[in-house]
Structures are given as structure tokens and as C-alpha cells.
Amino acid sequence: MRNLKYFLVKNKMMVIITSIVLVCAIAIAIGVYAQVTNRSVIRAEEKEENKEYEDLESNFDDIFTNTINKQESAKQDINYDEIIYCAYNINEEKNNYIVNAKIPLFKIENDVTKQVNKEIYDTFAATIVNIAKNSTTHTTFNLDYVVYVNNNILSLVIRCKYKDGSNPQRYIIQTYNYDIDNNKLVDINEILEYKNLNKDDVAKKVEDKIKEENAQMKSISEQGYPVYIRNENDEIYKVENTPNYFLGENNYLYLVYAYGNNNFTSDKDLVIF
């Protein structure tokens, strides 16, 4: 009887220990599975996000429709045509030049918009006048724009493709981000705050993008093809010095490095968030 009792107690203990071990093993297995699944989900999300950015980059030229695009967050009771409009629609073809340009300007007048309008005119309209008066070689000048309104921020993006004679074509981008409520231009730091983006994370993504593009360009250059080599130490790659940026469709933030703004090249880099 005593041996039977001892046997039952001993077996009961074995059952308890086995159950504990089994529960621990299951918990560990669940934890490992959750970690693996979580990593897979994160990788899938990152892959999908990268694909989204790639699509936005490859379709960048398609956004220039000379229209105002109100996003869901935009105030719907505002007539944005009364804020910004196509001031000049120029289509002219002569022996020495072809000009197709839709030049936007701000319709509302204050110190900020007057300055913006002057910059746009001096950069683009004055160039067209100069082409018409002085062009001696075949010149093509094409200009389009697009406007996005996200919340109270109106982003104007101007694209110009300019080829003068035998010089390489220039791809020029100029952007303005206008705070409708406060009648002021929005700087990059305010945009990052609006998007809740960490400045260091943005800087890292810009650095990685430029290095990646430059590696490709150097590889092509070694094969004897002329390419635009980026200066990776250029001050323009500091976030606070980003030359052009805007909020586009679905609130995406574009940082634009269009090297044709200052050089005879069509090369550009886009970093999108």
C-alpha cells in the first residue's frame, strides 16, 4: 500500500513537471513564431512601402497636369482658383525656337506672394522673352506645373525642360509651399514637424539615396558614358538646405534635387516620405 502511494505521488510529480515543461515549450514556440511572423510582416510592409515610393518616383513626370488638386484634408469651402492660377499660356513655334509654357502665379497679393511671383517671372517668363528676342540656335522650352493642397498648405511645383542648341537638356524644378491661413511660406523644418518626421531619419535616407545613385552613375561612367556625378559632400544634401520640397498627393513629402536648376543636365534625385 505504501509503495502504491509512493508510486502515485511520484507519477503525479512527473505529470506536473512534464506539464510545466510542455507549457514552457509551447510558450517559447509561440514567442518564436510571433517574432518570426512579426519580422515577416515588417519586411512585407517595408517592401510594399518601398514599391510605393518607387512607383511615385517613376511616375513623377505624370503629376504635371497644370491643375489644382485638393486632397481630403484640404478645406473644401475655399476657391483655390482665387489663390493661384495659370497667368500665361504660351504656345509659339518659330524657326529658332519652340515654346510651350503654362506659367502659374499667385492671384492673391501680399508681400510673400509678390516676391514669389517675381521669382517665377524672373526665372521663367523672362527666359522666354530672352529666347524670343535673342535665340540664334534651335531652342525648346517646355513648362508645366501642378498644385496640391494638403490641410492649409498649398504646394506649387513647377517643372521646366529647357534645351538650348547643342547643350544638354536642363530639367528644372522650382517649388513653393504656402501657408494659406498665415500667408507665409512653410520651411522644411515646419514640413517635417507637420509630417511628424525625425530629422536624423530624413537625413539618413537622403544620404543613402545619394550614395546609391552615385554608385550607379560611377559604374556607368567607367563604361565610358557621360553622366552627372553627385558631390556627396554638397551642402544641399543637409536637410535644412534642401532646395525644393513639396507635399503631394495623399500627403506624401517629396524632397527634390534637380541638378538642372544650376547645370546642363536632366538628372534629378527624389527622396519621398
Delimit the domains of the chain by residue range.
64-272
- What is the pLDDT, as a whole number, of residue 217? 94
Vertex 102 angle, CA 100 and 104, to 5°: 155
CA dihedral angle for residue 215, residue 216, residue 219, residue 221, rounded to 10 degrees: -110
pLDDT of 23 reads 58
Question: pLDDT by residue (tens digit) across 257-271?
Answer: 999 999 999 999 999
Question: What pLDDT was estimated at residue 19?
Answer: 59
Determine the pLDDT at residue 42: 47
- Bridge partners, residue 155, by sequence: 148, 177
Which pLDDT score, from 0 to 100, does residue 7 have? 47
- The CATH number corresponding to 64-272 among 3.90.1170.40, 2.40.30.20, 3.30.565.40, 3.40.50.920 equals 3.30.565.40
- Pick out the chain residues at pLDDT < 50: 4, 7-8, 40-46
What is residue 45's predicted lDDT score, i.e. its pLDDT?
46
| pLDDT the model gives residue 33 | 55
Q: pLDDT value at position 51?
A: 84
Kindly report, residue by residue over 221-249, the tens digit of the pLDDT.
Answer: 889 888 999 999 999 999 999 999 999 99
